Amino acid sequence: MVCLGNICRSPLAEALLRHKVNPKKVEVDSAGLDSYHIGEAPCKTSQEVAGEHGLDISGLRARAFKTSDFDRFDKIYIMDDYNWQLIQSRARNKADLQKVDFILNEIFPGENMAVPDSYGKGKNAAKLVYDMLDKATTAIAQKLQS
């Protein structure tokens, strides 16, 4: 799960998918494409919204996306067009890029819809992001189980 800073959208997606899959069979992680939040906990609004749904994301810490993540993971989900532009510049080859997809393509195939960045936009924005990611991660979990 990849977004820009790894403190709003991607930690929510990480926690949601982890909650829905068998952790012994599926490794789930998140990262940011920019490094200015490394080591920080998810933003307060994301923590609050996750908590309202029984998920504690306070222990997660932002990390930067590494080129080696292309080798470590079978699928890399991004949140928006800007993430796509940045990750393209880090891909070493076509195989790397084939692992990358917009997370909302899981529920809106081929539409490349963005999950809006909720950073600094309040709790309602974080709730909207949570709802979008909840639906997308449910689709991913169902796909993994079949």
Catalytic status, residue 3: yes
Catalytic status, residue 117: yes
Catalytic status, residue 43: no
Catalytic residue among 8, 9, 43, 80: 9
Buried b (16+ CB within 10 A) or exposed e, 98-119: ebbbbbbbbeeeeeebbbebbb
78 strand-pairing partners: 2, 102
Dist CA 17 CA 6 (whole Å):
15
Catalytic residue among 29, 69, 80, 117: 117
The closest of 31, 40, 21 to 83, measured between CA atoms, is: 31
- What are residue 54's phi and psi, to 5 degrees? 80, 15
Q: Which residues are catalytic?
A: 3, 9, 117
